[in-house]
C-alpha cells in the first residue's frame, strides 16, 4: 500500500525532528575530522540535486542544473521512483546518475534510503544541493550522504520548519522571487569562493531563467498524431491535424494539494464554451490513467461531441509530442503546466492556494489567479498544508475569464503557425 501524503508529513515531523537533532552534532563532528585530514575539491565536481516529491520541479530546476553543468560539474539527481520520468523530458542528467527512492511502502523507503547513502559515497559526491524547502527527510539525506559541501535553504532567525544543522552553505529562501531564481541562488552558493552569511548576495536576471526545449522524435510525434486521429474517427469526429486546432483540457485530480482543483463542473462548462466558440476544433480532456473516471465525468457532463476522454492515452515520454501537436492547454496549477514549457505549446494555468509569482510556468503561459487576501495559503513555513476546505480562490475564477485567455493564446498560436 502506498504511503499517503499526510502519513509522510507525519513521519517527517515526528521522526524527522528528533533524527535531525541527533544527526546534527554527529555530522558536525564528522566534518571536523574530515577537515583535519583531507581537503575536498575547491569547486563542485560531482554535484547531486535532491528533489523527491514534485515532478514539476524537475523542469523548474533545469536552468540551475545547466548553470552548474556549464561550470564543469557532473550532475546527479535523487528523486522518488514514481517521479523519475520527469527527468527524462530534457535529459539534463545522465540516466545512470539518477538515484531513486521507492516511496510506495515504508520498507522500500528505508531500504532505498540506505542504498542511496551507500551509492553517494561510492560515486564520491562532493556537493549536494537540497532543493526542498521544508523536508527534514531531505535534510537528513543531505547531511548523511558524505558530501563535504552541502547547500540548501536555512531559516536563520525565521520561525519556519526546523531541519537541524546539516548545511555548510546556508541560503536564505526568498519568497518574493520565482522559484527558478531561488534554485539559481543555490548554484551560486555552491560555487562561491568566499563564505557569506547568508548566501547568495547577487542579482539574478530574468535572462538567466532559460529553459531548453525537448527534442521531439518525429516517429513518436507521428505515432501520437495517428492515435489522436484514430480515436476521433472512432467517435465519429472528422479531424485532420493541421486543418483543425487541437485544444487540451487538463482537469487534473491530484491528491497532493486538492485545493488547487478547479471544479469538475467548471471544466465541463469551459469545454461547452470552447466548443461553441470553436465548433470545428478537437478537444482532448487529458489526465493520467488513474484519472480516467474523473476525466470521464467531466466529458459526460459537458456532453460535447468534439470532446474526447484522452486520459491515459499517452505515456509520460509522449507528452512533449502531444504538446507539440496541440495549440493550447488549460490546466490547474500542476505538473502539466511545467512539462509543457519544454515545448512551444501555449497554456492557461489556474492558480489558487499557490501563486504564479513563485511557481508560474516559464513557458508560453498565461496565469489566472483571484489574488484573494488569504492566497497563497501554502508555503515553506507550513509544509504546504492548508486548513482551507473551501477553495474560494479557485471558485472565483470564472469560465468567461478562462475562455478569454484561451482566445488570446489561440490567436498567438494561429499567428505562429501562419493561419
According to the model, what pLDDT value does residue 34 have?
Answer: 84
pLDDT in tens, 84-103: 999 999 999 999 999 999 99
The residues near 385 (Cβ < 8 Å, ≥ 6 apart) are 9, 378
Distance CA 295, CA 301 (A): 10
User: Can you list the alpha helix ranges (DSSP code H) found in 343-398?
Assistant: 356-359, 392-395
Identify which of 3, 8, 170, 151 has the alpha carbon closest to the alpha carbon of residue 68.
151
Inter-residue contact 82 to 8 (CB < 8 Å): no
Distance CA 35, CA 42 (A): 13
Beta strand extents in 51-145 (DSSP E only): 74-80, 98-101, 127-130
According to the model, what pLDDT value does residue 264 have?
Answer: 95
User: How far apart, in Å, are the Cα atoms of 166 and each of 23, 26, 30, 128, 355?
Assistant: 8, 10, 11, 11, 29
According to the model, what pLDDT value does residue 1 have?
Answer: 47
Q: Is the pLDDT of residue 150 over 90?
A: yes
Beta strands 46-50; 346-351: pairing state: unpaired
According to the model, what pLDDT value does residue 140 have?
Answer: 96
Task: Check residues 177 and 11 and name the one with the higher pLDDT.
Answer: 177
According to the model, what pLDDT value does residue 167 have?
Answer: 96
Band the pLDDT of 133: cuts 50, 70, 90.
Answer: confident
Share of the chain above pLDDT 70, in %: 98
Band the pLDDT of 199: cuts 50, 70, 90.
Answer: very high
Q: Is the pLDDT of residue 306 over 90?
A: yes
Query: Scanning the structure block, which residue is given the C-alpha cell 523530458?
Result: 89
The residues near 123 (Cβ < 8 Å, ≥ 6 apart) are 46, 76, 97
Give mean pLDDT, residues 144-159.
90
According to the model, what pLDDT value does residue 12 have?
Answer: 86
Q: pTM of the predicted model, to two decimals? A: 0.93
According to the model, what pLDDT value does residue 114 have?
Answer: 97
Q: What is the mean pLDDT of the chain?
A: 93
According to the model, what pLDDT value does residue 42 have?
Answer: 83
Counting beta carbons within 10 angstroms of the beta carbon of residue 390, is it exposed (0 to 12), middle (13 to 18) or buried (19 or more)? exposed
User: How far apart, in Å, are the Cα atoms of 300 and each of 35, 229, 304, 387, 400?
Assistant: 65, 21, 8, 32, 21
According to the model, what pLDDT value does residue 117 have?
Answer: 97
According to the model, what pLDDT value does residue 253 have?
Answer: 63
Identify which of 311, 297, 312 has the alpha carbon closest to the alpha carbon of residue 265.
297
pLDDT in tens, 382-412: 777 888 999 999 999 999 999 999 999 999 9
Band the pLDDT of 2: cuts 50, 70, 90.
Answer: low
Counting beta carbons within 10 angstroms of the beta carbon of residue 7, is it exposed (0 to 12), middle (13 to 18) or buried (19 or more)? exposed
Q: Is the pLDDT of residue 210 over 50?
A: yes
Counting beta carbons within 10 angstroms of the beta carbon of residue 208, is it exposed (0 to 12), middle (13 to 18) or buried (19 or more)? middle
The residues near 111 (Cβ < 8 Å, ≥ 6 apart) are 102
Band the pLDDT of 217: cuts 50, 70, 90.
Answer: very high
- Output the 3-class SS for 323-356: HHHCCEEEEECCHHHHHHHHCCCEEEEEECCCCH
Amino acid at each position: 500500500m502506498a504511503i499517503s501524503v499526510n502519513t509522510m508529513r507525519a513521519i517527517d515531523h515526528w521522526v524527522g525532528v528528533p533524527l535531525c537533532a541527533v544527526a546534527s552534532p554527529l555530522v558536525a563532528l564528522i566534518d571536523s575530522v574530515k577537515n583535519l585530514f583531507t581537503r575536498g575539491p575547491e569547486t563542485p565536481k560531482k554535484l547531486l540535486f535532491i528533489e523527491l516529491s514534485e515532478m514539476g520541479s524537475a523542469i523548474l530546476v533545469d536552468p540551475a542544473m545547466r548553470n552548474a553543468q556549464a561550470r564543469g560539474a557532473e550532475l546527479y539527481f535523487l528523486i522518488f521512483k514514481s517521479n523519475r520520468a520527469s527527468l527524462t523530458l530534457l535529459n539534463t542528467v545522465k540516466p545512470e546518475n539518477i538515484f531513486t527512492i521507492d516511496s510506495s511502502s515504508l520498507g522500500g523507503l528505508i531500504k532505498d534510503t540506505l542504498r542511496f547513502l551507500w551509492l553517494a559515497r561510492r560515486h564520491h559526491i562532493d556537493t549536494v544541493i537540497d532543493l526542498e524547502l521544508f523536508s527534514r527527510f531531505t535534510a537528513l539525506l543531505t547531511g548523511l550522504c558524505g558530501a563535504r559541501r552541502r547547500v540548501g535553504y536555512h531559516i536563520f532567525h525565521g520561525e519556519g520548519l526546523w531541519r537541524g544543522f546539516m548545511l555548510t552553505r546556508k541560503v536564505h529562501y526568498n519568497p518574493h522571487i520565482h522559484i527558478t531564481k531561488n534554485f539559481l541562488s543555490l548554484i551560486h552558493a555552491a560555487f562561491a569562493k568566499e563564505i557569506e552569511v547568508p548566501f547568495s548576495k547577487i542579482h539574478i536576471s530574468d535572462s538567466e531563467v532559460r529553459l531548453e526545449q525537448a527534442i521531439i522524435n518525429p516517429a513518436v510525434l507521428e505515432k501520437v498524431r495517428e492515435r489522436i486521429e484514430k480515436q476521433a474517427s472512432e467517435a465519429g469526429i472528422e479531424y485532420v491535424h493541421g486543418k483543425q486546432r487541437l485544444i487540451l483540457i487538463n482537469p487534473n485530480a491530484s491528491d497532493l494539494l486538492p485545493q488547487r482543483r478547479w471544479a469538475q463542473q467548471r471544466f465541463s462548462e469551459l469545454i461547452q464554451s470552447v466548443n461553441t466558440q470553436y465548433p470545428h476544433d478537437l478537444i482532448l480532456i487529458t489526465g493520467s490513467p488513474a484519472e480516467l473516471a474523473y476525466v470521464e465525468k467531466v466529458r459526460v457532463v459537458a456532453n460535447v461531441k468534439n470532446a474526447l476522454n484522452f486520459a491515459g492515452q499517452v505515456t509520460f515520454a509522449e507528452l512533449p509530442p502531444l504538446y507539440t501537436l496541440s495549440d493550447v492547454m488549460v490546466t490547474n496549477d500542476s505538473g502539466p503546466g511545467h512539462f509543457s514549457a519544454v515545448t512551444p505549446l501555449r497554456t492557461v494555468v489556474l492558480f489558487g492556494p499557490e501563486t504564479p509569482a513563485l511557481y508560474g510556468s516559464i513557458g508560453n503561459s498565461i496565469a489566472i489567479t483571484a489574488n484573494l487576501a488569504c492566497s497563497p495559503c501554502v508555503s515553506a513555513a507550513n509544509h504546504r498544508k492548508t486548513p482551507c476546505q473551501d477553495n474560494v480562490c479557485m471558485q472565483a475564477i470564472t469560465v468567461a475569464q478562462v475562455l478569454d485567455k484561451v482566445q488570446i493564446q489561440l490567436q498567438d498560436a494561429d499567428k505562429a503557425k501562419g493561419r
